Structure formats: C-alpha cells, structure tokens
C-alpha cells in the first residue's frame, strides 16, 4: 500500500459530510458554502518535529495537538470551527504513525464537527501544517484590540502546566507528572468558551507563547497596560505539587511558560457574573487575574505584594536582565 | 532585527486592503466577508526544499512558485483568488532570502489582487506552506467529474517545458534552456482562463503531476477514458529545439513530465469556437489534444498512428513495464 492509499484509508472517515461542504477532498480545491451573512475566520499553524514536538513523539498526540492549536486560534476569535486542511510532510510512509496520527487528529475533529476538506502530502522532514476555517456573525469577533482601562483580565483553566511538564522539575510525583504531561500533549481548545464570550469579552487571545507574551500582544493591540496578581493566577494542584510557589521563581511557568492554549480575555467588571455563568456552561473555570491599566506596560504583583514589570519576552528574559526575584 | 521584524518588514505591503478582508494579519485569525451567495474554494500545497526545489534555489522563484501552484488549483476550479495564508519554516532568519522570497511571492500576489491575511513562521527545515481562498458563484465550479464521452480534451499553453528543464537534455541551446527554466521556476497560474471556462468546460484539472496522471484523475472522476494524439500535443519551440520528437521518446516530458500548471479540460465539440475565443481573451492558447471515450483507460496515438495505453503513473513507469516504444 502506498502513501496515498494509506492516507485515503486513515483520513477518509474524517471527510464526512457537513451541509456546508459542497465538495470535499479529491478535486483541485474544496468548495464550502458559508452561512449567509457570517464572516469567515481563517488561521494556519505548523508543528515541526524537534521544534514543537520531540523526535519519536506519540503520533496520536501530534495529531491531536496540530488540530488543537488551530482550533484554539478560532476559539480566541469566538468562531465556530467548520473545516480544516491538512498538509503533512513525512519522511516515509509509516502506517503505524499515520494510523496513530489520524486517530488523534480524527477524534478531535469529530468532537468539534470539523470536516477535513483538503491539503496535501509531501515527502520531507516531519511537519504538520493545519489550516482551519470557522464562521462567526459579523461584528461579533473577539479581537485583541478592544481592552479598556479598568477592565478585568481573566484566563480560562490553569496556567503553566504544559511548560512545567516540559521542564520536568525534580520531585514531581508520578500522577502529577502524568497530568501535566497530558496538558502539554493534549491541549483542549476552548471553542465553546470563545463562542460564549461573544458580546461579553472586550478583547481575547489564546495563550500559546505564555501569559506575559500573549497578554502583552493583547495590551499592545488595545493601547493599554495591565497589572496581574500572582496570588490570583489559576494554578492546578499538579502545578502546586511540582513547583514551589513559596518563591517568586515558582510562578515562572504560569507567567511565561507557553503551550497553555487557554483563553486570556478582558471584560468590564460589571459583566463578571455573566462571564462566570458562561464559563460554567462551557465547562471550564475562568479566573480574574488582574486589571487593565491606562498606562502602558505589563506588571505583576508577587505574593510579597511588590509590583514588578513583566516583560512580554517572558520571565527567563527578564530574569536574565536583572529584574528577576 | 529578529525574524518577526524581518517578516513584518517584507510582508506588510502584501497585506494591503481588499474590502472583503475585515481583519488581516495580527490577530488569532483573519476575518473575511465572502461575497453573498458565492462559494469558497480552498486549497493548500506545500513546497519542501530538496523535494520541490533544490537547495540554494533562487528565493524569489520559490516565493513565486509557492503561490503560483496554489493559484493554479483555484484556476482549475474556476475560482477568483481572494486571500492567502503563508506558513514559512526557515532554518534561520536570512534577510536576503526573505527579501527575495517576499519579492517573488508579493509580485504574484499583487498581480492577482490576493491579500496575505495570516499564517505563521517556524524554525526548521526550509518549507513553504500556502493556503488559498477564492470565491465562485454557486453551481459554476469546474470539477473533475463532468467529462462526457465524445467531449474534446484540451490543454492550455504548452506541455513538458518544466520537466524538460529539470531533465536538462544535452544539446539544448542557451536561449531555449533559459526559456524552459523560466517555465519551471515561474509557472503562470491560468486564473483568467479558469474563470472564463465556467459554464463551458465540462471538467477541468491543473496539470501538476504530468498530463497522463492528471488527465487520468479527471477521467477516473468522470468514469470515462480518453485518447490523446501526439501530433496535437502543444509543444513549445524550445521543447522542439531541445527534445527530438522524431522518436516516441521525445514526447515523454509532454505526456508525463509534471510541473506544467496548465489547465486540462473537456468540452462538447460544439463549444470549441467559444472556448477558443475565451482562451484568446485570457491570453493563452488552448489546444484540442484528443477525445473522451466511453470505455475506461487513457490511450495515446503516437506520430506513427499506433494507439498505446498511457498509464496514469506516467511514461517512465509504462516504459519500465514493457509498454514503451
């Protein structure tokens, strides 16, 4: 069986019908009929072996994550995922790898009702390019640019788990280490939350490069600053088991670790109860972690109550620059 | 200047406004407002160094070709290009390379009025992933599946030039070799022709893997066969100067060479005059090269008048199989 047969075999079930997919895989382009009056949201992200995942990484986890990071971009806009294109670059036709990849990719696609409508397969160093297309009503997109001074800054879920898994701190019990690892390998795109935040959040971004970097992007786009408080950062029990937050250093993964794929968003304080209700309905916790400031810059208040600048480049950078604890 | 600054510098002029681009580069996803009532055509293709282009290839040519092969897919559907996402995987931030790439990519994007609306940049082995989005009226797509027995088979432009350039036959004069090389490096997507063939062609595909393979795909999708004639294959003067068509072997690049990015389409014979007129208006020649058959299989008639099977896998394969001249 050649590579094309393999791909047909493992991916054909992912191409099953949505009414808006007029023509799926198998022609020069796919044809979609978007819902009348809605906007398209389009994004693309590539995962490269040895950069985004280690050589020999579990194929199902790579399949899951390649789709999840793209769905997370749609979630951050408040868009409803519809279709996906998959560009696979593979060193060789490896049936086991493809079967695992398709399983991970396919389970997530099925869960969000996303149709695989196209892409290509290429021989070369292992890389996975994914492009997603979603829909959303005009005027309802969650952009980065709408934060207002006085707004609360919130994040979904917990922060720093994936980065902590990657760092592999010593003295982490096996159960906590496994839980953190699953957060790294199998991020959950916050699609339902993103859609529910339409009309509530004033700005939104997904946390892929770390809170400091991504909240920094949001603030830059909004022309504001913010202060976040260490004591309000949502940390998982596993995080607290594996990283001591007795010192400032224990917050580094939560502040600037990356790979969280949670949503960071801003809202007027008077909408907080509504937001908490939509978070509950979307099945994930949302935590207010700080406030938008009129003055530029991102600051954090440590558990010692002292306020420090938090450079967008992240904790490591600012530690090296002498601003660390 | 870091990689992100470089990319912003070289690509910002490609993101200039189209009225349907509600939000371009710089948020988690781009937002497009497709024309009411039209379908989206979406396609993605990746070019990998050492697979699709040699190490050290001219960056401007890589930029041109990465976009051109994707626009060619839209052309084959009869779609009007609108927006593009670019996923660049680069071993390092190389300003000269990026400047060249952006020049080649940008000139073609500007010529077709395509807006760069998103994508990403990744560290890794050099590869260029491009995703295109186009529009077309519902019911007007050129699919592969509509060919009817008795239809004429036509191709645009000339065949085999790129494959011949890659083969580098001895005894090719410098001017011809240069011309063939430009056909390999700078394919011209037949966008205007594809749009003009709406409602005229019964089926269409772009010739990327060679006439035999791609016409084979069209016939398979249509449940038909075809006979093409060697004497009617459109060959450029440079092709004739560099490959002797005195023997059957001289047709190999035109029959199965690949990288042509011409359109191969079928039409009822009574529409031929109309098609010739739209080809003239679209600025490229169209040549009838054979006819669709009710019986399955692809055949070609050599200059000797003898009919031979032409396997979709291409000339090399069939030559090795003992069916060659």
Q: Which residues pair with A43 in a beta bridge?
A: A132
In a shared domain, residues B120 and B159: no
Whether A315 has a pLDDT exceeding 60, the answer reads no
Q: Is A298 on the interface with B (CB under 8 A)?
A: no
**B306 φ, ψ to 5°?**
-90, 140
Residues of B in contact with A219 (CB under 8 A): none
Taking CB atoms and an 8 Å cut-off, how many pairs form between chains A and B?
187
In terms of Cβ atoms closer than 10 Å to its own Cβ (0-12, 13-18, 19+), residue B299 is: middle
Do B119 and B158 lie in a common domain? no
Edge-to-edge strand order for the sheet containing A152-156? Answer: A203-207, A262-267, A152-156, A286-293, A225-229, A297-301, A307-309
A160 lies in the same domain as A110? no
Residue with tokens 């309905």: A281
Cβ of residue B124 closer than 8 Å to a chain A Cβ: yes
Q: What is the pLDDT of residues A32-53, one digit of tens each?
A: 999 999 999 999 999 999 999 9
CA of B35 vs chain A CAs: smallest distance (Å): 9
CA B103 – CA B173 distance, rounded (Å)? 29
Q: What tens digit of pLDDT does each residue of A288-305 get?
A: 999 999 999 999 999 889
Between B148 and A249, the higher pLDDT residue: B148
Residue-level pLDDT at B26: 87
- What's residue A292's pLDDT? 98
Nearest to A120 among B45, B79, B85 (CB): B45
Residue A271 to residues A138, A152, A293: CA-CA distances in angstroms?
22, 10, 18
Of B273, B299, B157, B316, the closest CA to residue B215 belongs to B299
* Final residue in a domain of this structure, among B102, B137, B172: B137
Domain that holds residue B55: 3-137
At B4, the pLDDT band (50, 70, 90 cuts) reads: low
Q: What are the chain A neighbours of B78 within 8 Å (beta carbons)?
A: none
Tokens representing residue B266 in the block: 């079928």
The answer for B 227-286 residues in CB contact with A (under 8 A) is none
State chain B's mean pLDDT as an integer: 91
Q: Which two tokens stand for residue A258?
A: 């990356």
| Coil, helix or strand at residue B313 | coil
- Give the pLDDT confidence of A170-219 residue by residue, as tens digits: 889 999 999 999 999 999 999 999 999 999 999 999 999 999 999 999 99
3-state secondary structure of B48: strand
Mutate to test the interface with B, among A8, A29, A79, A140 (most CBs of B within 10 A): A29
A143 touches chain B (CB under 8 A): yes
Q: What is the pLDDT of residue B313?
A: 64
Tell me whether 0.85 is exceeded by the ipTM: yes
Q: Which two tokens stand for residue A295?
A: 């003055």
Interval A88-147: pLDDT, tens: 999 988 889 999 999 999 999 999 999 999 998 888 999 999 999 999 999 999 999 999
Chain B residues close to A114, C-beta within 8 Å: none
Over residues B22-71, the pLDDT tens digits come to 999 889 999 999 999 999 999 999 999 999 999 999 999 999 999 999 99
- Residue B322 pLDDT exceeds 50: no
Question: CA–CA separation, B265 vs B285, rounded Å?
Answer: 13
The per-residue pLDDT for range A227-284, each reduced to its tens digit, is 999 999 999 999 999 998 888 889 999 999 999 999 999 999 999 999 999 999 999 9
Residues B223 and B309 in one domain: yes
Residue entry with tokens 């991102």: A298
Alpha carbon separation from B242 to B155, B171, B252 (Å, rounded): 21, 7, 13
Q: How far is the C-alpha of B183 from the C-alpha of B177, rounded, in Å?
A: 10
Q: How far is A66 from chain B (nearest CA, A)?
A: 13
Indicate whether B110 pLDDT > 50: yes
Q: Are strands A203-207 and A262-267 parallel, antiparallel or unpaired?
A: antiparallel
Q: Where is the domain boundary, A94, A120, A137?
A: A137
**pLDDT tens for each residue of A65-86:** 999 999 999 999 999 999 999 9
Listed in sequence order, the DSSP H helices in A78-210 are: 95-111, 161-167, 174-185, 191-196
- Minimum Cα–Cα distance from B32: chain A residue: A40
Which pLDDT value is given to residue B180?
Answer: 97
Inter-chain residue contact B46 with A122, CB threshold 8 Å: yes
The Cα of B72 is separated from the nearest Cα of chain A by a number of Å equal to 9
Task: State the pTM of this model.
Answer: 0.93
B residues 50-109 near A, CB within 8 Å? Answer: 50-52, 72-74, 76-77, 79, 83, 85, 87, 89
Contact assignment for A87 to B122 by CB distance below 8 Å? no
Are B19 and B84 contained in the same domain?
yes
Give the pairing of strands B225-229 and B297-301.
parallel
CATH of the domain at B22: 3.30.1330.10
- DSSP 8-class letter at B123: E
Q: Same structural domain for residues A77 and A153? A: no
Q: Kindly identify which residue of chain B lies nearest to residue A207, measuring between CA atoms.
A: B28
| Whether residues A293 and A209 fall in one domain | yes
Nearest CB partner across the interface for A119, out of B44, B89, B124? B44
Closest residue in chain B to residue A37, using alpha carbons only: B36
Whether B42 and A32 lie within 8 Å, measured CB to CB: yes
Residue A321 predicted with pLDDT over 90: no
pLDDT digits (tens, 9 = 90+) for B209-244: 999 999 999 999 999 999 999 999 999 999 999 998
Instruction: Give B105: exposed, middle or buried? Use CB within 10 Å, 0-12, 13-18, 19+.
Output: buried
Measured between CB atoms, which of A131, A136, A145 is closest to B131? Answer: A131
Residue B90's pLDDT is 92
Which of A88, A110, A137 is the C-terminal boundary of a domain? A137
Q: How many domains is chain A partitioned into structurally? A: 2
> Which residues between 14 and 43 in chain A have a beta carbon less than 8 angstroms from any beta carbon of chain B?
22-23, 26-34, 36-37, 39-43
B240 Cβ partners below 8 Å, 6+ apart? none
Do the beta carbons of residue B81 and residue B134 sit within 8 Å? yes
Partners of residue A118 on adjacent β-strands: A85
Put simply, the answer to whether A76 touches B138 (Cβ < 8 Å) is no
pLDDT at A107: 95
Q: Are residues A204 and A88 in the same domain?
A: no
pLDDT at B324 over 70: no
pLDDT of residue A4: 63
Contacts of B220 in chain A (CB under 8 A): none
In terms of C-beta density within 10 A (0-12 exposed, 13-18 middle, 19 or more buried), how is residue A3 classed? Answer: middle
One domain, residues B206 and B299: yes
Q: What's the pLDDT tens digit per position in B254-305?
A: 999 999 999 999 999 999 999 999 999 999 999 999 999 999 999 999 988 9
CATH of the domain at B148: 3.90.650.10
Question: pLDDT tens for residues A5-39?
Answer: 777 778 877 776 799 999 998 899 999 999 999 99
Confidence (pLDDT) at A2: 61
Same-domain check for residues A215 and A281: yes
- B304 to chain A nearest CA, in Å? 34
Contact A43 B23 (CB under 8 A): no
Q: Is the pLDDT of residue B323 over 70?
A: no
Direct distance between the N- and C-terminal alpha carbons of chain A, in angstroms, rounded to an integer: 58
Option in B76, B87, B124 nearest A44 (CB): B87
Whether A127 sits inside 8 A of B123 (CB atoms) is no
User: Do A174 and A126 sit in the same domain of this protein?
Assistant: no
Our CA dihedral for B170, B172, B173, B176, rounded to 10 degrees, sits at -150
Please report residues of A whose CB lies closer than 8 A to that of B124.
48-51, 125, 127
Structure tokens at B83: 């927006």
Note whether A287 and A252 are same-domain residues.
yes
All residues of chain B having their beta carbon less than 8 Å from the beta carbon of residue A128 are none
**Among all residues of chain A, which has the CA nearest to that of B84?**
A42
Nearest chain B Cα distance for residue A248, angstroms: 30
Contacts of residue B112, defined as CB under 8 A and 6 or more positions apart, other chains included, come to B71, B81, B189, B191
Mean pLDDT, residues B129-147 taken together: 97
């Amino acid at each position: 069986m050649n590579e094309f047969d393999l791909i047909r075999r493992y991916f054909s079930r992912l191409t099953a019908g949505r009414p808006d997919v007029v023509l799926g895989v198998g022609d020069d382009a796919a044809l979609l009929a978007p819902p009348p009056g809605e906007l398209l949201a389009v994004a693309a992200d590539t995962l490269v072996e040895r950069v985004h995942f280690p050589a020999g990484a579990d194929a199902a986890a790579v399949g899951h994550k390649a789709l999840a990071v793209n769905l997370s971009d749609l979630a951050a806009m408040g868009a409803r995922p519809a279709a996906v294109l998959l560009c696979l670059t593979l060193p060789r036709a490896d049936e086991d790898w493809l079967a695992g990849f398709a399983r991970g990719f396919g389970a997530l696609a099925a869960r969000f009702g996303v149709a695989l409508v196209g892409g290509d397969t290429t021989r070369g160093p292992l890389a996975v390019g994914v492009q997603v297309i979603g829909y959303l009503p005009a005027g309802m997109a969650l952009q980065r640019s709408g934060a207002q001074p006085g707004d609360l800054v919130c994040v979904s879920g917990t922060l720093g788990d994936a980065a902590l898994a990657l760092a592999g701190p010593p003295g982490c019990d096996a159960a906590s280490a496994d839980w953190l690892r699953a957060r790294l390998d199998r991020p959950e795109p916050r699609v339902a939350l993103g859609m529910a935040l339409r009309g509530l959040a004033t700005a939104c971004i997904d946390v892929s490069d770390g809170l400091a970097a991504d909240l920094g992007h949001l603030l830059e786009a909004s022309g504001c600053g913010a202060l976040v408080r260490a004591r309000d950062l949502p940390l998982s029990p596993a995080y607290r088991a594996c990283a001591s937050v007795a010192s400032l250093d224990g917050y580094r993964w939560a502040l600037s670790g990356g790979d969280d794929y949670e949503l960071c968003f801003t809202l007027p304080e008077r909408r907080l109860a509504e937001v908490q209700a939509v978070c509950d309905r979307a099945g994930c916790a949302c935590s207010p972690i700080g406030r938008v400031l009129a003055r530029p810059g991102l600051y954090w208040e440590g558990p010692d109550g002292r306020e420090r600048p938090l450079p967008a480049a992240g904790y490591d950078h600012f530690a090296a620059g002498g601003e660390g604890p």
